[in-house]
Chain A
Amino acid sequence: MATKWPENRRVIGTNVPRLDGPEKSTGKAKYSYDINRPGMVYGVIVRCPHAHAKIKSIDTSAAEKMPGFRALHLIAREGTELYYAGEDVLAVAADTEEHALDVARAVKVEYEVLPFQVKESDALENDRKTLAPLGPRRERDNLRPPQTQESDEFADGMKNAEVTVTGTYGMPVISHQCLEAHGLVAEWGADGGLTVWASTQAVVGTADALARHFNTVHKMDMAGKVKCITHYMGGGFGSKFGPDVQGIACAELALKAKAPVKLMLDRASEITTAGNRPSAYGKVTIGGKKDGTITAFEADTWGTPGTGAARTVGPLPYVYLFQHKVKHTVIRLNLGNQRAMRAPGHPQSCFFTDCALDDFAAKIGMDPMQVRLRNIPPDDVNAKNTDPLSYPAMRGTLYKKQIEIAAQLSGWANKWHPPGKGGDGPIKHGIGMALHTWGGFAAGPNDVTVTISSDGTVLVQTSTQDLGTAQRTVNAIVVAEILGLEPKDITVQIGENPFGRSGGSGGSTTCPSQAPASLLAAVKARDEMFAVIAKKLNAKVEDLSITKGKVVDKASGNEYEWKKACALLGTSRPRGVGTWSGAEAAKQANAGLSKGGVGGVQVAEVLVDTETGVVRCKQIVAVQDCGLIINKLACESQVAGGVIMGLNYALFEELIADRATGRIVNPDMEFYKLGGINDMPKIIVHMIDMPERGVIGIGEPPTISTHAAIGNAIFNALGVRVPETPFTPDRVLAALAKGAK
């Protein structure tokens, strides 16, 4: 019989403080940055200062004579074309960090500076073809051919519209801004093995990619010889999959220097090279009836993925199933390549859809919450039969419930007012909302091993990483539940690839992969333990069970305290390996262990100073489902963290590229603004527990709709749309001035 989640849950779904909280808050936890190895030297990357250039020559002779020089690794060569300011040229290592910086500055690189473009509007106006050749025809065009999509009845939908509203919306390129920069320590062992302490969200993927590199480039046999250790890491948000340029360079330097090398990016490199969230701009037209029914949605969007070529928006229309016509144009620019960022494409799509929807609601004079209730997609009848636990089967019911809860928690009925009626004085109040959706399915495969010892200790080992989501605590909660223990009784070891397989922590896949694997492993270890001790207890295996702290023999009624029961194991070490993956989750027999597909609703309240254009966000209500909740406290924390990130998209974050120099002018934490503690609103999180669905990941969804909700709250306050994030004083004042005309 397939393993199921326990019907009565003693630990799962309760508030469990993260097990490693004390380590993280006292500094005992060692991040990659904190790793120092005997004889370690320091790596620094020399970067191209120009937005587009070809290397004419590289002269390292002076650098190699500098004090402390240890090694050099070429990343680019003479003749290499580089496509953004900050692109990697070579890496050097020296005995101290200061010497390494001096060595790097002594490298002489001559460039042929080439034309570049760093602004979307410039490329739209005059495509100067400044990026790498792409595709079979080796095109250098910055503007990629538009992609278009039209639903069958779009034209009819627009024809049937009684009212149409057109607006423009947009958001700039922003940076991941990981507090711990990308980087690692790399050390080669006497046995030819490589160990890296990497700040990564893919422990196994990083080890594998490093092995592939040395297999391919150096014809070394690295099978089983690369170890990646990530016990703690300081933020990734989608930007830390794999070893990256600096990971390869660091391992190469360590090989050449015959010494461990630490190479962590400085803040400017972190911002300019290690992750851009693409921009998105567009014009959206919504057509609908005066009763609030939306009949058609049209969007013409564009954005830049930097040097990349990927789309910069997600599904459009977002959440809703309107008849639609959408067009998207990718604009390549001489900026760092895009990387996945917390719900790739979704914040962009949410902004285009939810802000346009509020503008439509205003035009017909309706409360935008009512417009949403009228238009949320209904439960899919077919899905209700074939897969009743799926998102399509329940989306209509789910959103309706979430909107009702959000309305109640935010006091919407009393606080909402028609747009522009936010008070008589210069400080205007506004309230707004937005919806989001995400997957959060299992991926994998993920292996979890549970070992029970005769002294009663329980060890959980898995290679996965903790991005800050309290992953250790997830493993401990599940195993504690099955073995009748408390999470603190479980020793959890994560973040080392020899512990088995695991996927990268992307797509909110980690918890829904790891929790079922932990369940399966704990059940197997428990059953193996029962098999060993049953004989010694003169009991039948099928009569044994576990309650809190005890093993119970149903037949005799005898109870054995956990440690006493374990003492019977002698030299046996019951061990269970559980494996979970997307494929396992898809099996009919496994239904209910993990799932995907969530909804979420957020309501934001703002005060806007109409004299200064300064926006203060006062409160955010976030309603979120994620199937079976493993750790309620960590879930709420995850949602609050997502809201904080979304608030920063809304109010503060913008990577500013300079048209004249092609350089980012704010690669710092001074003018790349991030809200501090005083800028935070009251955050009210409401989790909807749906245990019948199994575990669903929510790393990403709670950050998606925050900026659209804040944008709509500002619209509600002012009665004019501030079209682009971040909602800075200049943009708010410009919108007010335009609205007054």
Chain B
Amino acid sequence: MDNFVYYRPKTAEAAVGLLDAKWGTAELLAGGTDLVSLQKQYIARPKKVISLSQVQGLDQIEQSRGWPMTFKIGAGVKLATLAASSALRGSAAALAQAAEEIAGPQIRNMATLGGSLCQRNRCWYFRDEQSPCLLKGGDKCFALDGENRYHAIFTQGRKCVIASPSTVATPLMVLGAIAQVLSPKGKREIPLAEFFKAPTGPEDREHVLAPDEMLLSVSFSIASDKVKSASYEVRQKLSSDWPLVQASVAFELDGGTAKNVRIALGHVAPVPMLSAEAAKAIEGKPINEETAAAAGEAATSGAKPLSQNGYKVRLLAVAVKRALLTAAGAKKYWEV
């Protein structure tokens, strides 16, 4: 990796004060599970690496008592902590379930919520220094007609067909989370549903943060104990593997029917995406294998897979179906 100057600021304000006005020259270091490998591969070549290890207060989960129950989760909270939180498991299961499945124990013990939301994509062309793809200033996306079995299936109008890498993005989106962000100009809030962006060049990231902005926390509110949520990912391996597709769902289960349904899809498009079609398909209906399957089919509408990843369309329908059934507490017919 290139040489860099290492900073360990004590406050978030000091950390953003060290960031630059353009991408690439300064990087925030949280768990290091992504940045360090990007540096070793000369994909990230910062002059400044700003460690967040000394910044106080980023690793807290705040939770209100009673309904509605509000959670505020610091960007520095470890994925292992999210997975183990009994409060989240009880009231925001989609998030705990998603965190629990990420990578392996070593990664979960280091990686943070903020890092997971802000990480770079896993496209193998992007991560190969020798392949000058769009995101590295080149003029083509190699995956479009190359090796694309793990890439996006919602590709309409996309110049770069990465699959969104964050597995905690989709549960936070269905829980209606809001991101708290700090820059030298002050704080602002961004709904998670508007937090992600499809990068198309070297001046882009997978999110909308400005180069001198930093994610502080995400917060969301659970209206009542009628709110049910779940995440389901299809993965090839049980040990340390990326999801092939992932779905998160949240809804209020009232009198046996689902209301205010939100369904988000991960690892299938350059951004994690809310599926209005899938939500509409099951809104106001009881959740059973038939209705869940119909919502799964609806989630695939608009999918335009690449040469090698048509199978992910089928997997997505299944992931949505199984997430809905899990949230509703139905029998997990796939576990035998």
Using a CB–CB distance below 8 Å, which chain A residues touch chain B?
Answer: 49, 85, 98, 425-427, 607, 609, 611-614, 616, 651-652, 656, 658-661, 663, 665-666, 670-671, 673, 675-679, 728-730, 733-734
Contact = CB atoms under 8 A, between A and B. Distances in A.
A612 B124 CA distance: 24
Contact of A661 (B130, B244, B334): B130
Contacts of A652: 236-237
A679 B314 contact: no
B142 A660 contact: yes
Interface string B305-331: 000111100110010000000000000
B237 A673 contact: yes
B318 A659 contact: no
Interface in B271-311: 308-311
Contacts of B236: 614, 651-652, 673, 728-729
B25 to A, nearest CB: 19
B189 interface: no
Given A426-B333, A665-B125, A659 B234 contact: no
Given A658-B146, A660-B146, A661-B130, A612 B239 contact: no
A499 to B, nearest CB: 39
Contacts of A613: 311, 315
B332 to A, nearest CB: 11
A612 B333 contact: no
B142 A676 contact: no
B165 to A, nearest CB: 12
A679 B315 contact: no
Contacts of A85: 130
Given A678-B237, A728-B236, A729-B234, 16 more contacts: A611-B334, A613-B315, A614-B236, A656-B147, A658-B146, A658-B147, A661-B142, A671-B122, A675-B239, A676-B237, A677-B239, A679-B239, A729-B236, A729-B244, A730-B310, A734-B311
B43 to A, nearest CB: 13
Given A609-B334, A660-B145, A678-B238, A670 B122 contact: yes
Interface string B170-209: 0000000000000000000000000000000000000000
Most buried by B among A652, A665, A675, A729: A665
B240 interface: yes
Given A656-B147, A728-B236, A729-B311, A676 B333 contact: no
B104 interface: yes
Interface string B231-261: 0001111111110100000000000000000
Contacts of A607: 336
A734 B308 CA distance: 11
B42 to A, nearest CB: 8
B151 to A, nearest CB: 11
Interface size range on B against A: 20 to 34
A677 B122 CA distance: 24
Contacts of A427: 333-334, 336
A679 B1 CA distance: 34
Nearest to A730: B311
12 contacts: A425-B336, A427-B333, A427-B334, A613-B311, A616-B238, A651-B236, A675-B239, A676-B104, A679-B237, A679-B238, A679-B239, A733-B311
Nearest to B2: A102
B48 interface: no
Given A425-B336, A666-B124, A658 B237 contact: no
Contacts of A679: 237-239
A652 B238 CA distance: 12
A410 B264 CA distance: 43
A601 B117 CA distance: 48
B48 to A, nearest CB: 18
A729 B147 CA distance: 16
A607 B122 CA distance: 29
B131 interface: yes
Contacts of B239: 675-679
B238 A661 contact: no
B274 to A, nearest CB: 23
Contacts of A612: 234, 314-315, 318
A425 to B, nearest CB: 6
Nearest to A733: B311
Nearest to B238: A678
Interface of B: 1, 104, 122, 124-125, 128, 130-131, 142, 145-147, 149-150, 234-242, 244, 308-311, 314-315, 318, 333-334, 336
A551 to B, nearest CB: 53
Contacts of A671: 122, 124, 150
Given A426-B333, A676-B104, A679-B239, A665 B311 contact: no
Contacts of B238: 616, 676, 678-679
A677 B241 CA distance: 12
B234 A665 contact: no
A96 to B, nearest CB: 12
Contacts of B334: 426-427, 609, 611
Most buried by A among B237, B244, B310: B237
Contacts of B125: 658, 661, 665
A618 to B, nearest CB: 10
Given A678-B239, A679-B239, A730 B130 contact: no
Contacts of A98: 1
Contacts of B234: 612, 614, 729
A49 B129 CA distance: 10
A670 B244 CA distance: 13
A731 to B, nearest CB: 9
Nearest to A427: B336
Contacts of B147: 656, 658-659, 665
Contacts of B131: 661, 663
B84 to A, nearest CB: 18
Contacts of B336: 425, 427, 607
A613 B310 CA distance: 13
Contacts of A658: 125, 142, 146-147
A47 to B, nearest CB: 10
Given A678-B239, A729-B236, A730-B149, A611 B318 contact: yes
Contacts of B314: 611-612, 733
A656 B308 CA distance: 13
A607 B335 CA distance: 10
Nearest to B239: A676
Nearest to A665: B124
Contacts of A733: 311, 314
A667 to B, nearest CB: 9
Nearest to B125: A665
Nearest to B309: A730
Contacts of B318: 611-612
Nearest to A659: B146
A730 B313 CA distance: 11
A733 B244 CA distance: 14
The 9 A-B pairs with the shortest beta carbon distances in the complex, nearest first, are A676-B239, A678-B238, A730-B311, A665-B124, A678-B239, A49-B130, A611-B318, A427-B336, A612-B234
Contacts of B122: 670-671
Contacts of B241: 673
Contacts of A609: 334
Contacts of B310: 730
B190 to A, nearest CB: 30
A579 B145 CA distance: 59
Contacts of B235: 614
A127 B122 CA distance: 33
A532 B281 CA distance: 93
A616 B146 CA distance: 29
A392 to B, nearest CB: 41
Contacts of A678: 237-239
A25 to B, nearest CB: 18
A670 B235 CA distance: 13
A734 B150 CA distance: 16
A663 B129 CA distance: 11
B133 to A, nearest CB: 10
